[in-house]
Structure 1
Amino acid sequence: MKHILLIATGGTIASRHTAEGLAPRITPEELLSYVPDAASFCSIDTVQPINLDSTNIRPEHWLLLANLIEENYHRYDGFVICHGTDTLAYTASALSYLIQRTSKPIVLTGAQRSIDEDTTDAKVNLLDALRFACSGKSGVCIVFGSHVIAGTRARKSRTKSYNAFTSLNFPDLASVHESRVVRYIPYEPQGEPVFYHKLNTRVFLLKLTPGMDPAAFEAAGKLCDGLIIESYGMGGIPDVYLEELDKLIRQGKTVIMATQVPQEGSDLSVYQVGKHVKDRYHLLETYDMTLESTVTKLMWAMGQSSDPQEIRKLFCATVNYDMLF
């Protein structure tokens, strides 16, 4: 029988109604009491390092979770993290970079409705996550609505429906149907797991909008070491912003071009407005990455090195299926 560590962090799955709205109140032991069938296929220990609405989850919490898993890595066969849905994709992406080449499942799940409600997706999601954690299928992933999604590919695409998460620009890794796990994409880690302990959180995401004041670039530069520009379509910078972009490049900021379009990714080589800035500044671009993985990967890369070439090398290396180009 597999031995699983259930890590509770709060979120809707563990919330109760209060006079001020839903708030995390349910303990991890109580969560398990709603899924008694889990005891038939695994033994479970529980821990609750934080108890937050996921809106309040920050990078220091990602590091806390990664350290907790590292400390317990050799004691358990798999890990299940119960987490709020709003920042679940960010946490899954961050853990994909902080814990690499894991041979054990690190599974994140949550729910759109609390586990103590009469009608809820929480019980199925939690059971599915525990089953996947026992399946021997490794890697950092999200299990939600019967879908198993790579930790770097998830996006919350619905605010109320049970099928809340979508795998962007990449197929699901697997599915869970009742007691059966069906894996579509094999995962074969090479070597021992690697744990990282540093993030540079001075990352800023600037979303272009028509008519935005060029001073926004200067303001963003004061807040960050790495700037992600969320452009239109396949990517490009309007001419009115090039002078400000010049300044950021001279200041040594790492600048990455992304797209506001969720499907199919960027390609700066197609249009003049994109090709010009890529050739002029040698900008990094996200291609088919999600914004969640772009933000967390840049934090991770800049946390490992301040050398621009090393940051570029780390960012361009594929991790947990995050970039295919």
Structure 2
Amino acid sequence: MNKKPNILLIYTGGTIGMIKDADTGSLKSFDFENILTKIPELRLLDCDIETTSFEKPIDSSNMNPEYWIDIAKIIESNYDNSDGFVVLHGSDTMSYSASALSFMLENLNKPVIFTGSQLPIGDLRTDAKENLITSIQMASLQKNNVPIIKEVGLYFEYKLYRGNRTTKINAEHFEAFESLNYPHLAESGVHLNVNKEALLKNDGSKELIVRVNMDTNIGILKLFPGISEPIVKAVLNTEGLKGLVIETYGSGNATTASWFIDLLKTALDGGLQIVNVTQCAGGSVAMGQYETSSKLKSIGVISGKDITTEAAIAKLMYLLGVQLPSEEFKSVFELPLRGEMS
């Protein structure tokens, strides 16, 4: 017998949870306890909805690994009695959070769908209702009482993406996100069309493991023409730095100036993990394809392949947190763990 899926709605903060006071015009937090009263359309969904909220909703600009742990622990404690999860989150850092949760939730066998909106839920032209309703529908999709989606997704403006493949590309349009290196997992039109080939395959036999040690001793260095030695040196000599994402040009290319290569080599020899990702919105790092990247390859820089900067940051924090032996780090990083790279 088919039972109704039980979906847990987790509100962390963000525009989607705001409602405009009709008298003053100011925005205030929405009480998710009364969500069915405010959005009666949710009653039409073929699932049971429960809600929980952060004690104090946060703007996503203040999102950090402590809050990721809070989300992960809410999912862990409700995992057995929920069939799916929808995380309501501000859009600015949503790609970072979705990437982080994908690594933190090992052997995930149920959908965790991040969503938000560009306009508050009470606005006349809001995108919040569609995003919320369809995210819950996506999280409810089942076949023979088994969830169809078994990964961390991000739903925005008619498309479901793999969370750790997304980047926010627009602060103004409703179509705020894109996944340039991986196809959409599903699309919402007249029908919900799921791209089954693109979904992560999980046999479901392993228990969920929640990894909460995220090491934040990492940085990003974006290359630009004219970048100076003192700047690079200052970044590499940052006290406590364990991992660095370098955003290079094109397919992983960088200056071949000897001071630059020497600084990187010294840092690598000292145990710093350096990951090469492209500044381009789409495409992949292919170190060694051009002379300008072959030196990076020869000194042992990690290839980020087609990973996004957001996912590279989350993966670095995660792998440093599980304290992999230094000699294994490069080969493990270059393997896809949660479908985050090809």
TM-score of the two chains, using structure 1 as the length reference = 0.93
Partners of 2:8 and 2:49 within 8 A in 1:
yes
- Displacement of 1:177 in angstroms is 2.9
Range with greater deviation from structure 2 (87-96 or 30-39): 30-39
- Displacement of 1:317 in angstroms is 2.4
What does residue 27 of structure 1 align with?
Answer: 31
Secondary structure at the aligned position of 1:75 is classed as: coil
Aligned mate of 1:253, from 247, 268, 272: 272
Distance 1:284 1:140 in 2: 25
What does residue 8 of structure 1 align with?
Answer: 11
Q: Which amino acid aligns with 1:62?
A: W
Distance 2:84 2:191 in 1: 17
Range with greater deviation from structure 2 (244-253 or 161-170): 244-253
Distance 2:223 2:254 in 1: 9
Render the CA deviation track for 1:90-139: whole Å, top value 9, x for unaligned: 00000100012211111110001000001110000000000011002221
Range with greater deviation from structure 2 (117-126 or 246-255): 246-255
Secondary structure at the aligned position of 1:74 is classed as: coil
- Displacement of 1:22 in angstroms is 7.4
Counting only pairs closer than 5 Å after superposition, residues 73-92 of structure 1 correspond to structure 2 as 73-92=79-98
- Displacement of 1:86 in angstroms is 0.2
Aligned mate of 1:220, from 196, 221, 235: 235
Q: Count matched residues.
A: 321
Aligned mate of 1:201, from 211, 216, 236: 216
What does residue 52 of structure 1 align with?
Answer: 58
Partners of 1:156 and 1:166 within 8 A in 2:
yes
Structure 1 residue 291 corresponds to structure 2 residue 304: no
Aligned mate of 1:42, from 43, 47, 55: 47
- Displacement of 1:159 in angstroms is 0.7
Partners of 1:305 and 1:311 within 8 A in 2:
no
Partners of 1:132 and 1:181 within 8 A in 2:
no
- Displacement of 1:319 in angstroms is 2.6
Question: Identity of aligned pairs, percent?
Answer: 31
Structure 1 residue 117 corresponds to structure 2 residue 132: no
Q: Which amino acid aligns with 2:85?
A: F
Secondary structure at the aligned position of 2:50 is classed as: strand
Secondary structure at the aligned position of 1:142 is classed as: strand
- Displacement of 1:29 in angstroms is 2.6
Unaligned residue ranges in structure 2 (runs of 5+): 142-146
Q: Which amino acid aligns with 2:41?
A: D
What does residue 166 of structure 2 align with?
Answer: 154
TM-score of the two chains, using structure 2 as the length reference = 0.88
- Displacement of 1:65 in angstroms is 0.7
Q: 1:35 to 1:17 in 2, by over 3 A?
A: closer
Distance 1:294 1:187 in 2: 19
Distance 1:277 1:57 in 2: 33
- Displacement of 1:316 in angstroms is 2.1
What does residue 172 of structure 1 align with?
Answer: 184
Partners of 1:15 and 1:22 within 8 A in 2:
no
Unaligned residue ranges in structure 1 (runs of 5+): none
Partners of 1:237 and 1:274 within 8 A in 2:
yes
Distance 2:199 2:229 in 1: 46
Structure 1 residue 127 corresponds to structure 2 residue 127: no
Q: Which amino acid aligns with 1:206?
A: L
Q: 1:207 to 1:33 in 2, by over 3 A?
A: farther
